[in-house]
Amino acid sequence: MARLPEGPVDADPFWRLAAAFLVAYPDSTAKAYLGDLKAWASECESVGVHPFAARRHHVDAWVKALARDLRPATGRPASAATIARRLSCLSRFYDYGMREVELIEHSPVANVRRPKVTDDSPTIGLDAGELDRLLTAAEADGTTSAALVSLLVYNGLVTTSTATRRTRWPASCVGVTGRRRERDTSGATPRPWALTIYHPAGGSEPTA
């Protein structure tokens, strides 16, 4: 306990360990991990076991519940990616408690099976309004962004090569070029000038 941050005398050692564990991570990661630890602590409380006394079967039961039960925020069970992240967080947390702080003697996550996470995006498409806002933002950024985004949207191109171009993408476009996604372009208005911008004959700026 001497290696943990100071806290109230009656503070739960689980949360003191959590505070020490999260310090090493960037704010965004620490915030996500804190949510994972809170969810795990809540699960342990619901079954009447302290997180330091939990065993593998407690984690297995929690994973099964995450994959089965509908979440109030989304109306769907947790995705495989969310479950994998939560297990990764717990694995690192318990390893930290064992090896760095030497506060606990075992990890209940050590041999838990992780769900398989594919590279496919869960996003199935954009509606007409979202597509229009995306293209408008690209047009406002300049002809290069507008041409690339239009070609990607309307032709479903693989984006590995285009994503490596030294192009400053507008904030609204971030995430679009990271991987192949299926998009519904049936409700959007095509930008035919996109094909002419890189043509040897040249092209004109889009007009509003």
Cα separations in angstroms, 118 against 74, 79, 80, 81: 21, 11, 9, 8
- Where residue 7 falls among pLDDT bands split at 50, 70, 90? low
pLDDT at 6: 63
Which CATH number does the domain housing residue 25 bear? 1.10.150
Residue positions counted in the chain: 208
Contacts of 200 (CB under 8 A, 6+ apart): none
Tell me the mean pLDDT in the region 107-136.
76
Tell me the mean pLDDT in the region 10-15.
87
C-alpha to C-alpha distance for 35 and 39, rounded to whole angstroms: 6
The region, left, alpha or beta by phi > 0 then psi within -120 to 50, assigned to residue 170 is beta
Q: Which of 61, 82, 100 is the last residue of a domain?
A: 100
Q: Which of 100, 115, 143 is the last residue of a domain?
A: 100
Going by C-alpha positions, the residue among 129, 169, 123, 128 that lies closest to residue 148 is 169
Tell me the mean pLDDT in the region 58-79.
93
E strands present in the chain: none
Are 21 and 75 in the same domain?
yes
Note the pLDDT tens digit of each residue in 153-181: 766 544 444 444 444 444 444 444 444 34
Domain that holds residue 77: 13-100
At 49, list the tokens: 């076991």
Checking if the pLDDT of 39 tops 70, the result is: yes
pLDDT at 18: 94
At 10, list the tokens: 């009656």
Model pTM greater than 0.85? no
| Number of domains into which the chain is organized | 2
